[in-house]
């Protein structure tokens, strides 16, 4: 049986084992926005199913352009919307790991958020 499939009809597009990195990038941003100064998916760099670019400014004021692929996240530039092809940086499996290496302020904000959540759970449990 042949079925016509329209990927644009789905909120989450997966083709085989390939995830839509543009949707993944949106999820990455929403997960850690509380612990950075600014973060958004680049509108100036071309994203595709297999790659998306995220601009982030850490709490310390450092700016980075991140590349998100199936391999993970890595820094590709030291300014918004900047991709330096010669830059050879390590891939991180998660945005948490990457930001943990880039920003002591992120580490502190993440730890504080975790403590607050544990306190709320403790209060709700009593």
Question: Any idea what the CATH number is for the domain that residue 109 is in?
Answer: 3.30.2280.10
Please check whether residue 11 lies inside any domain of the structure: yes
Please check whether residue 2 lies inside any domain of the structure: no
In which domain, by residue range, is 107 found? 7-125
Per-residue pLDDT of the chain (126 residues), as tens digits, is: 333 433 444 444 444 555 799 999 999 999 999 899 999 999 999 888 999 999 999 999 999 999 999 999 999 999 999 999 999 999 999 999 999 999 999 988 888 888 888 888 888 876
Cα–Cα distance, 78 to 100 (Å, whole number): 17
Q: Closest by alpha carbon to 58, among 5, 25, 104, 116?
A: 104
Backbone region of residue 44 per phi and psi (left: phi > 0; alpha: psi in -120 to 50; beta: other values): alpha
Q: What are phi and psi of 62, to 5 degrees?
A: -85, 135
């Amino acid at each position: 049986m042949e079925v016509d499939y329209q990927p644009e009809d789905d909120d989450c597009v997966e083709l085989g084992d390939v995830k839509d990195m543009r949707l993944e990038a949106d999820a990455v941003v929403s997960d850690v926005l509380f612990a950075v100064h600014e973060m958004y998916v680049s509108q100036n760099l071309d994203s595709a199913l297999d790659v998306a670019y995220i601009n982030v400014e850490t709490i310390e004021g450092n700016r980075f352009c991140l590349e998100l692929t199936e391999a993970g996240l890595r820094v590709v530039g030291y300014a918004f919307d900047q991709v330096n092809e010669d830059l050879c940086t390590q891939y991180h499996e998660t945005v948490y790991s990457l930001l943990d290496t880039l920003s002591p302020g992120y580490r502190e904000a993440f730890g504080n958020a975790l403590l607050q959540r544990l306190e709320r759970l403790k209060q709700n449990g009593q």
